[in-house]
Amino acid sequence: MADLDQVLSYVDRERQRFVADLVTWCRIPSISSSEQHRGEVRRSAEHLRERLMALGCTTSAILETKLHPAVYAEWMVDPSKPTLLIYGHHDVQPIDPLPEWHSPPFEPEEREGRLWGRGTVDDKGQVLIHVNAIEAFLRGGGALPINIKMIVEGEEEIGSAHLDDLMQEHRDRLSADFVVVSDTAMFGRGIPSLCVGLRGIAYFDITVRALTMDAHSGSFGGGVQNPANALARLIAGLHDENGAITIAGFYDRVRTLTEGERKEIAALPFDEKAWLASVGATAVAGEKGYSTLERVWTRPTLDINGLSSGFQGKGPKTVLPAFASAKLSCRLVPDQDPREIAKLVEAHFQKHAPAGCSVEVDYLHGGHPYLAPTDHPVYEIAKRAFTRAFGQPTVFIREGGSIPFVRTIADRTGKPCLLMGFGQPDENAHAPNEWLDLENYHLGIKSAVYLYDELSRTK
């Protein structure tokens, strides 16, 4: 059994070299959405695989998909010990607009206790947190306390296009007792946070038609339907005066928050003013009876994301547009189902379309919401591990956004997905000037050390 103090002091000793290793990996521009960077994504996968092989993994492989490869490795130390599956990704977001970067995106630079560069926090740094913790056990303590499997995909930033195929194909290999994903952010600086809920999504194109061509607004205005007017009325009717969505059946599957959950959310040090200011908003808005965090994390939404119709140029042009269209998205919460919501949205528009107008509802894509089974003992274990590293109580948080791969992993492994993220809310993950807090990186490695140690006592 590894001596934990020795493992932790190894982490302290190697602190700078762990940063240098991250810099080396981040120099590989593994932009998965760019055809030109296809070779770089592969180089990134091979770089990681070499690192994992140097740590004496018992098996490793480049897992091919139809596009970018994933990396797989395992350290099977003892079949009687629990097995942890770690998920991460090695691909990164594009870098444009390049002029806004203060230092070159693929030449990571250390400033103000942060490492600036594409991929530092999303997600190469978070992958290396685990790799470094594994190294610390092996070289600092002599052995790993649990079996570890690691899958690091190369397509997360393009929607994990082939992750489901991969997980089906390698189902036996990927079986584990616990699953941890490190690809999210903490609630705030120094507040260790486990993300336990994600919203899903359903996305639509709505088109209202009434005429076969744009018509003269003098000759026909007031005598036929105007699709733009009709769409505006339909949209206005989607929410009632309390901000609730009026689509029949929309809330049928929405889980009510428990008193305990509401208390937990209310206790978080949420700076509403700063949150509003971050997008220049001057007032909160939304469904009556809920706090802002409750609205953003635990309630479904329906929002227009784009609107177009008729004449869009400068100056006047008197036409009745032939059609009007809108992009519409719903953020979904447990247990809403995107396909079911798609049927309800379609039925609503067909029912309320005025005579003389036809409505087309095109369901573009969807993703399921996720809610972690927080009564599973692994959540208490993770809380304890995280708290030991950061010296602060660990909080449960949710995220208003959607991370489709979490549902894929949870469904395919049949295990709860522990979202133990080490990012910061303002770390510019998909924007210019992405950065990783180096103190978080260091404490993240220690959190992983404590987590593996705690998990070793579960069998």
Q: Which residues are catalytic?
A: 91, 156
Name the minimum Å distance from CB 451 to Zn ion.
19
Q: Which stretch binds Zn ion (CB under 5 A): 118-126, 143-151, 161-169, 215-223?
A: 118-126
Name the minimum Å distance from CB 429 to Zn ion.
7
Name the minimum Å distance from CB 373 to Zn ion.
23
Binding residue (CB under 5 A) for Zn ion from 91, 122, 153, 155: 122
Interaction mask 154-183, Zn ion, x per CB under 5 A: -----------------------------x
CA distance to 76, 155, 169, 454, per residue, from 172 (Å): 14, 22, 8, 25
Q: Which stretch binds Zn ion (CB under 5 A): 40-48, 120-128, 321-329, 418-426?
A: 120-128
Name the minimum Å distance from CB 178 to Zn ion.
20
88 vs 68: CA distance, rounded Å: 14
Decide if residue 123 touches Zn ion (CB under 5 A).
Answer: yes
Count the Cβ atoms, other than its own, within 10 Å of residue 331.
22
- CB nearer to Zn ion: give 122 or 453: 122
Which pair of tokens denotes residue 265?
């959310």
Sheet holding 435-437, edge to edge: 109-111, 114-116, 435-437
Decide if residue 153 touches Zn ion (CB under 5 A).
Answer: no
Name the minimum Å distance from CB 281 to Zn ion.
26
Name the minimum Å distance from CB 253 to Zn ion.
28
Confirm if 76 and 141 have CB atoms less than 8 A apart: no
- CB nearer to Zn ion: give 31 or 320: 31
Q: Which stretch binds Zn ion (CB under 5 A): 115-123, 195-203, 288-296, 311-319?
A: 115-123
291 vs 193: CA distance, rounded Å: 20
Confirm if 33 and 96 have CB atoms less than 8 A apart: no
Q: Which stretch binds Zn ion (CB under 5 A): 91-99, 119-127, 136-144, 355-363?
A: 119-127
187 vs 169: CA distance, rounded Å: 35
Cα torsion angle, 455, 437, 403, 267, sign: positive
Number of residues counted as binding Zn ion (CB under 5 A)? 3
CA angle 39, 42, 48 (to 5 degrees): 140
- CB nearer to Zn ion: give 208 or 372: 372
Interaction mask 67-106, Zn ion, x per CB under 5 A: ----------------------------------------
- CB nearer to Zn ion: give 122 or 346: 122
Ranges within 251-310 binding Zn ion (CB under 5 A): none
323-332 and 114-116 strand pairing: unpaired
Helix 438-455 vs helix 125-135: angle between axes, to the nearest 10 degrees? 50
- CB nearer to Zn ion: give 158 or 347: 158
142 vs 6: CA distance, rounded Å: 9
- CB nearer to Zn ion: give 91 or 294: 91
CA atoms within 13 A on the CB side of 99: 0
418 vs 402: CA distance, rounded Å: 15
Cα torsion angle, 14, 20, 24, 30, sign: positive
Ranges within 361-420 binding Zn ion (CB under 5 A): none
- CB nearer to Zn ion: give 181 or 357: 181
Residues making contact with Zn ion (CB under 5 A): 122-123, 183
